[in-house]
């Protein structure tokens, strides 16, 4: 990741944003002295996080049983595509593969019926990083209660199956599996829909509950014959699209302002970062710096009381903190 583009100072922008405030100790794990060099850290660690395919850490001498022998209380977390066991455990994959195999790509389709690319890394974040945090915290509670650590198995592909919970439940309960792009939250309802405006912007409308729906209908001037949208959902979608498409986004922004319609103008990322609410909440108050450069840091989903005060911090150069390992070794 350090070598990726675009750059921010000497290294990649993505690396700088994701590793702000961390330390770096560089060790070649294939060297004969790697384990002895790491031993002081392994003995003292609360958590070990690794993302190799199953079996790799064991071959390096750093598998759970090997680390547990040095530190019985360690919470050892492995993040992989398909988990530590099962027929796909050793299969290579990336985020798009996990979303596809979890059935998520089949839920929303384009006008040609083909699945659309997700707009974020669902597997890495929703299936990997966040479940890892939850499981690591549970592992630390387990250690507090039972006096021993454990091995946490985080599988990105299977964790994505928690997102379409309602559709899966319906499929299991009565055999009705979702039709792509036709369900209530995937394009089949006028109450959860994206409508184009006259100036090529988009209204994201989600007035699902009846009181929001009726307020939305009144705001846009939708004829009462369409208020019962379940009689002809497709016809209602077309009529709302005609009305929304007749006016520019500035008109609809004013119409929706101050009203409980659950409808907004879809923002660009640039607009989202400049939003007054985002500024008031201090979302980008922290900064990452490198070589005299400074930009807002990636937002971290933590309550502000769990974060340090807003400050500018750098990211570690490769092996920048190797001296800390030598100090730890001497102290041990």
Active site residues: 94, 124
Identify the sign of the CA torsion 67, 69, 71, 76.
positive
Q: How far apart are CA 269 and CA 265, in angstroms?
A: 12
Is the CB of residue 191 less than 8 Å from the CB of residue 208?
Answer: yes
User: Can you name the residues that pair with 80 across neighbouring β-strands?
Assistant: 155
Is the CB of residue 320 less than 8 Å from the CB of residue 39?
Answer: no
Contacts with 332 (C-beta within 8 Å, 6 or more apart), sequence order: 39, 40, 43
Contacts with 43 (C-beta within 8 Å, 6 or more apart), sequence order: 70, 71, 332
Is the CB of residue 98 less than 8 Å from the CB of residue 160?
Answer: yes
Cβ–Cβ contacts within 10 Å for residue 189, how many? 20
Q: Tell me the two tokens of residue 6.
A: 């675009």
Q: How far apart are CA 113 and CA 126, in angstroms?
A: 25
- The DSSP call for residue 109 is B
- 265 CB burial (10 A radius; 0-12, 13-18, 19+): middle
Place of tokens 């945090």: 133
> Cα–Cα distances in Å, from 142 out to 149, 150, 155?
7, 8, 20
Q: Tell me the two tokens of residue 61.
A: 């001498």
Counting runs of H as helices and runs of E as strands, what totals does the chain give?
14, 11
Helix (H, G, I), strand (E, B) or coil at 240: helix
Helix (H, G, I), strand (E, B) or coil at 243: helix
């Amino acid at each position: 990741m350090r070598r990726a583009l675009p750059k921010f100072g000497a290294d990649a922008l993505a690396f700088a944003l994701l590793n702000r405030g961390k330390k770096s100790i560089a060790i070649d794990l294939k060297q004969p002295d790697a384990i002895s060099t790491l031993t002081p850290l392994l003995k003292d660690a609360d958590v070990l996080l690794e993302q190799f395919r199953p079996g790799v850490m064991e071959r390096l001498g750093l598998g759970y049983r090997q680390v547990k022998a040095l530190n019985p209380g360690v919470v050892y977390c492995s993040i992989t595509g398909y988990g530590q066991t099962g027929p796909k455990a050793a299969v290579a994959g990336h985020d798009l593969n996990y979303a596809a195999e979890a059935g998520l790509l089949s839920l929303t389709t384009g006008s040609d019926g083909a699945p659309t690319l997700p707009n974020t890394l669902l597997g890495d974040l929703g299936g990997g990083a966040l479940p890892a945090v939850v499981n690591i915290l549970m592992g630390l509670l387990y250690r507090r209660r039972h006096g021993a650590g454990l091995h946490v198995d985080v599988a990105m592909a299977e964790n994505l199956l928690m997102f379409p919970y309602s559709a899966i439940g319906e499929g299991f309960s009565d055999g009705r599996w979702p039709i792509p792009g036709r369900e209530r939250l995937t394009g089949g309802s006028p109450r959860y829909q994206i409508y184009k405006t006259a100036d090529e912007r988009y209204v994201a409308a989600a007035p699902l509950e009846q009181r929001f729906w009726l307020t939305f209908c009144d705001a846009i001037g939708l004829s009462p014959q369409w208020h019962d949208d379940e009689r002809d959902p497709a016809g209602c979608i077309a009529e709302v699209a005609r009305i929304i498409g007749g006016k520019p986004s500035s008109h609809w922004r004013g119409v929706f302002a101050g009203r409980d319609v659950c409808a907004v103008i879809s923002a660009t990322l640039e607009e989202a970062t400049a939003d007054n609410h985002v500024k008031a909440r201090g979302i980008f108050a922290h900064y990452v710096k490198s070589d005299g450069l400074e930009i807002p840091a990636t937002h971290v989903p933590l309550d502000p009381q769990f974060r340090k005060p807003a400050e500018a911090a750098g990211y570690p150069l490769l092996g920048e903190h190797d001296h800390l390992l030598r100090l730890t070794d001497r102290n041990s």
